[in-house]
Structure formats: C-alpha cells, structure tokens
A and B are shown apart, each in its own frame.
Chain A
C-alpha cells in the first residue's frame, strides 16, 4: 500500500482555512478526505455536509470524515491511517498561531503516512497588516516561510492593484514560492492536494468555477528518471501540483510535486503511466511540460 498523503493547512485567523476545507469537501472530485481539526470547539464543517456525528468522528458526504486531535495529533493520525476504507488524503487544519513545519515533522514520524504539503493561507486583505503587528509578525513570517505553496485567499475582495501589490510583497519576502490566488474560497482539489493517481475512482464532474486552473496529463514513453523529472516539474513555474506514475529503472514510481518540492516512492502493482500536472491557466505551458521528459533524458545523457 502506498503511503497516505497528509497536507497541513495553516495560516492566521481569518485567512480562510475553514472555507477552504469546506470547499474541498464539497468538491472532492471523488477523493475521500479525512480532516483533522485541533478542536471541535469551532466546528469547521458546514452543517449540510455532515451525515452523522458519533463519538468524536464526523461522517461527511462522499466518504469523508472529520475528527479533532486535541493534544494527541499522532494518536489521531494513527487512527486515521488504520481506518478502513482508508482515506485518499488527510488534511490537518492547524490553529491560527501554529507553526505548520512542526506539525509536518510529527506526520513524518508515523509509518504509512507521507507529509505531502504545507499549504499556508494568506488573506489578501489582512496579511500585510498582520505581518506588521508587533505580536504576530514573527509568527506570520514563520508560517509563510514554512509553506510549500501559498494560497492568497479573498483575492476577489481586493482590487487588481492591491492583489498585485500583495503578491509582489509575498514574492519579495519569499522568492520562488508558488502563490495561488483563491477566489471566493474556491480552488480545485487537484491544485490544492493533487489529483488521484491512475487508476482511481472516476472523478466527479469538474467544477466550472475552477476554470482558472488547467491540467494536462504527461505520459512519458519508456523509462524515465522519476527524480529528475520531479525536479524539472518542481522547477517549472507553471506547475503547482503534479501527481502520477512513471516507469523507472526498477519498476513503477509514484511521483508527487507540490510547489518547488517533489517526492518519489516505489509503487507496487500495475499502474497506468501518467502524471497529472496542474497550474493556473495562463501559466501552465503544455508544450513546455510535454518536452520535460525528453529534456530530462538529454540532461541525463549529457552527465
């Protein structure tokens, strides 16, 4: 069995973490999500999504679940790992002042789990003000610097000029980090968490609200160096998320890319070759991406 991916969703109060989680649950595209929240006090799940609540576990439409971890994150994660059927992806919604890297470090302690991504949400309206606040500045800075991807939320609530300014400010302070604008709390699950690898359950109908994003499937012929391809995809400025199987020297390999980081793991069994690459429509360059496997091979040959 492949390791179960775990993503951390962090960011200060009001950044839109709960809105994002609900959006991903509502538009899960066939992925079964397990959501872990710090505490049930601030119940993060929209009432209409809840099917039943029982003994600390909330069942959600589409085979998803939610539970609170309180002071025992590792215990809660272990329980989720042992669930049957196993979820496809675990989301940890961090508290507003939590540092996501330490949560990710705890995830890495558990066999069978893989720390997939740290997504840090920044409120386009508030982030610069919070970052200037005496009490919050260093916490916000630590959160932003620990992100694999920055999600710039409430992008629809500021003017185009303000959005550009805040994006430039983020880019200036965190050069090279992927910044995805999130409008009305909406981002496709495939961009936030990656697509389901092939073969998988059929995704539900794509959401038209997500038309700002585009995906293409890369199907490298023959054997390819998965790590080198991962580096190339992670370095491609148009690719925010990529996920899928390629044929490596020693069998099938599952490749994940999030932001500037990639990860590979040996895959057992038969899988269809194909890596789903997702990015913003105006930045994803299909021709360039399709050329990456050959470029990687050429680079390798040149070594």
Chain B
C-alpha cells in the first residue's frame, strides 16, 4: 500500500492505541499531550515514509517513534523535571526507559479501560460519543462534525469541555470495581449503541464515514467481548444486534446514498457472513437470566434477516416489540410495533392502535398512517403523507415520502 493510503488507514486503528496506552501510563490528565504525541508520530510517518518509502513493519515503526517522542516530551517538560528535581537521577533513568508497553495485551487493556474512563457517568452523553470518536476511533474533528451535522468549533468546544471534566473529576484509566461494573458497562454499551446508530441512521451524506462509524462501534464492542470480565450476555447481544443490522448496509443505500426501504432491498446484497457472526454472538448472549433491550432488539434484527413475509415472522416481531416497549418506551419502537401489528393482524387493527399513539409531531407517525391507509382509503393516505411531508426535516426523508405519494397516486 502507498504511504498516502496507508497512513489514514493506520491512523484510524493506531492513533487510539497510542493515546490509550500513554493515558493509562501517565494518567488521563495528560490526554492532550498524549494526543499531541500520537499526532506528531503520524506527521513524522507522513514525512519520512514519503521520502524513504514505507518501512517493513509500519506499526512497529509508529510505536518506536511514539516512544521516542514521549521521551523527548518528558525531557523538555520543565514541570515534570521540577516536580521530580530532588530525585533527578532516578528521573533521568525513568526518562530513558519510560516503560511504555505497546504489546498487544497492554494495548487491548488500555483501550478497554479507556472506554470505561471516557464513558464515565459525569460526562454528558454527547461528549462521551465525541470523545470516543476522537480518542478511541481516531476520527478527525471534521469527520465528527460531519457525523453530528455540526461545525468544527462546536465539536472542539465539546471536546475541550469534556477533557476539562475528565481532569476535574480526576477520572482514571482503570477498570471499575466489581460492584460498579454492571452500571458502568451499561454506559459503555449505550455509547457504543449510539455510535452505531449515528452511523446507521446518520443524516450525513458521506457513506464511507457512516460505514466507518458502524464498524468502529462493532470493533469497540468486540474488545469487550474478548475480555473475560466484560464478555457478558448483554454485550454479546449488542454485538449481534450490530452484526445483523450491518449485514444490510450495502443493500439499504443506492449509489447516490439514497435510502432503499426494506421491502425493495436486493437481499443478495445482504452480507451472509455478518449474519452468521451475528447469530454466533446471539447464541452467546443466551447465557444469564436477564433479557436486556439489546437481546430484544437483536431478536427483532434477526427476524429481519429472514426475507420471508410470513405471518409467523411478523407475529414474532410483534411480541418482541411488546416486550421491548415494556422495558423502555421510544417513539420509534411504538411505530415499529404498530407496523408489525399491521403485518400480523391486519391494517384495520393497526390503524386503531396507531391512532392512540399520540405522536402528532413525528413525521414517521404520519408516514406509517399513510402506509396503513394506502390500500384502504387513498384520500386519507394522501392526507397523512402530506402531513408527513410538512413535518419532515431532511431531504432524504422528504424524498422517501414523495416516492410513496407517487406510488400511491399511480395506484
């Protein structure tokens, strides 16, 4: 691979490893310095590899340079030297051999602990996601801004405040204690889930970026699954859910980045390998005595990997939504449940239930009603689609609704 292609690729995976290891060693209050060292490492790589060619083992090269840059940083850091001036000799030894361990085991542990640190409950959820994207996934500020449909300043400010908070709260890069782990893991899983959803449902037009977000979320979840303490049923359920969803990534978007609805998808584009991996993790999610929302959502996502339209399938989906809504209400789940109801019990019953939903500000609500009325009452269907169109905010959503209206009028 050419240097100019290899570097961005390595940046995505190695930046986060270097930062995580350095933060584990020197503490999270040094996160900005750690980020600087990692960034400078890649800058050196860009300069040196363009001139001298890509080294035989690029990753090892990066680690060596990162270690050297850390040593240099420690040497010129007055504060550090003043602090340990009385023990200068010992300190100089420490600088020569700072003991930065870039072995695969330590990298994995560092990233795992970093996940818990960044998803600390004192940090806002938005900030957790931005921090994770930056530090754990090596995303650029501009990419994060794109994913959130905002500008670079907003993201910079958000990251700055979040890092300040990490310092103030003296959050450490370590595993939470056994009594805390369940609760802390819930926050980590939520962030991974949101990260994935950000990619899967993102309004950004950049398809590659969206895919990257999804696969990064899956990579982070995989780190949890590979670690004994965090290889728990709920974690496996989340990973399986993401595999099932991601299997349709190529089928759900056309060349122009326009959404293709489930019914019109070419199922030969569904990634069978990801479906199989999802099934494997789903199987591993079956231990334990608790059904989490990830279990239920994975069950639903599994049903959707089956292209049959049998009544039984929709009945099963309906029951899973019934359970999911009891665990946690969300408008999306309420709408999807009503759609499943229409497929399992018929449109008439679904319309009655839909009208009780009280979601008159939600364009998906009117989209659903329009859909349900489509074969029954064209005028009513049209009214609902028009309301949906008036409420829809993005171009993609508007296009989808217009397509449905077209189809309705053509009969």
Do A and B make up one complex? no
